[in-house]
Amino acid sequence: MRIALFSGNYNYVRDGANRALNQLVSYLERQGVEVLVFSPTTPTPAFAPAGTLVSVPSVPVPLRSEYRIAMGLPESVRRRVEAFKPDLIHLSAPDLLGYGALRYALKRGIPAIASFHTRFDTYFTYYGLPWLDRAFSRYLSHFYRLCERVYAPSESMAQEMRSAKMGRDIRIWSRGVDGTTFHASKRSMEWRRSLGIRDDEVVVTFVGRLVLEKGLDVFANTSEALSRQGKAHRVLVVGDGPERDKFARQFPAAVFTGFLSGDDLSRAYASSDVFLNPSTTETFGNVTLEAMATGLPVVCADATGSRSLVDHGTNGFLCAPDTLQDFCFYAGQLIEDSRLRTDMARASQRLSKAYDWDQVMHQLMVQYSEVIETGDQKPAQKRLSPAFFGLPDAVRRSLSL
């Protein structure tokens, strides 16, 4: 089996999506599957890539220059794909590179599947471009309906995609957690003290990229409201990003650790008391699952991703998105009730055990085989979009779209 994987960000900025993709490639190669990964790269990647990574020429993304975008499928990359002779093409982003790869697959009768990782359709509002939401949603539906199968990371995300007719055959490719790395035994009171946190303080933690779409405003407003209500707590922020300085100014007494990974990240989770995730843009909620595995009660937005992980009232609470009253009420309950925190922490650990990486990856590999065996091997006659974001035909041709 030979798989060509196309990614918009395989390893140059660390996030939940590319962590899952690297886990997948590692697993596939251990099973004897040949994988070739195509992605933009930078001279200073966040981590070493799993498998063989082919660099695709790219330019910085406007407004978010830490990310890069490939301008279609260039001839040099196309030749590399042809030499590899993939049995299946896996698309992990609906960007220009992904669209170019999809076009390549359709014209040559190679089965193409896609995995859905990021709710790009929700991003434009955060950056003052809400008028693009509907147009981009239409494009997403067009892109995913051309794929043999589309894999959502959670049932809640799959339901939304089915409602939006975003794909003809929508399946689940879940995510996993390393239960040996992320475990409650990593709790360290000594580490807390080294950060100036008293043993009797309740620590409310945020973990993730410090960017607008992660709900930083809701987290900040919730913490400030809780303080006004006399519900004492300390804020711990794990992560980095372009909004760090602004976020830090709102929390002069908070502890900012910067980016952490592995055992250091697990220790930060386990040494906390409440995990608060207000993001509505997650498709799965990797940080929520990690928090659960380390024994934390979780308070999350009732949105895709967390909705499939949190059993409301059992291991945490789901709040109406962007509703300060809900976040304050439920986080406040956990701050004031240590017994409730303990009960929900145990439930979180128990529920997290259902997410095993090897089992998740094995299920996807089996489905790869199904698609290869049953997919239409003749060049597809499916209609490609006559325009891509309104680009003229001449421009699209120059981008290999």
Residues 332 and 362 in one domain: no
Residues 89 and 104 in one domain: yes
Residues 204 and 327 in one domain: yes
- Residues 363/356, Cβ–Cβ less than 8 Å: no
- pLDDT reading at 396 higher than 80: no
Per-residue pLDDT tens for 82-123? 999 999 999 999 999 999 999 999 999 999 999 988 765 555
How large is the average pLDDT for residues 45-63?
Answer: 92
Instruction: Quote the CA–CA distance of 257 and 383 in Å, as a whole number.
Output: 49
What is the Cβ-side half-sphere exposure of residue 140, based on CA atoms within 13 angstroms? 23
Confidence of residue 128 (pLDDT cuts 50, 70, 90): low
Instruction: Quote the CA–CA distance of 353 and 56 in Å, as a whole number.
Output: 38
Q: Would you call 116 exposed, middle or buried from its count of C-beta atoms within 10 A (0-12, 13-18, 19+)?
A: buried
Residue 11 sits in a domain of what CATH number? 3.40.50.2000
The mean predicted confidence, pLDDT, of the chain is 89
């998740």: which residue's tokens? 360
Tallying the residues shown for the chain, one arrives at 401
Confidence of residue 31 (pLDDT cuts 50, 70, 90): very high
Q: How many domains does the chain have?
A: 2
Instruction: Quote the CA–CA distance of 39 and 271 in Å, as a whole number.
Output: 36
pLDDT of amino acid 164: 86
Q: To which H or E segment does residue 6 belong? A: strand 2-6
Name the more confident of 114 and 393.
114
Residues 147 and 7 in one domain: yes
Residues 125 and 210 in one domain: no
Residues 131 and 34 in one domain: yes
Closest CA to 60 of 69, 49, 51: 69
Domain boundary among 352, 374, 389: 352
- Residues 297/226, Cβ–Cβ less than 8 Å: no
- In the chain, the percentage of residues whose pLDDT exceeds 70 is 90
Instruction: Quote the CA–CA distance of 139 and 343 in Å, as a whole number.
Output: 45
Domain of residue 291, residue span: 184-352
- pLDDT reading at 398 higher than 60: no
What is the Cβ-side half-sphere exposure of residue 204, based on CA atoms within 13 angstroms? 29
Residues 47 and 143 in one domain: yes
* pTM of the entire predicted model: 0.78
pLDDT of amino acid 394: 46
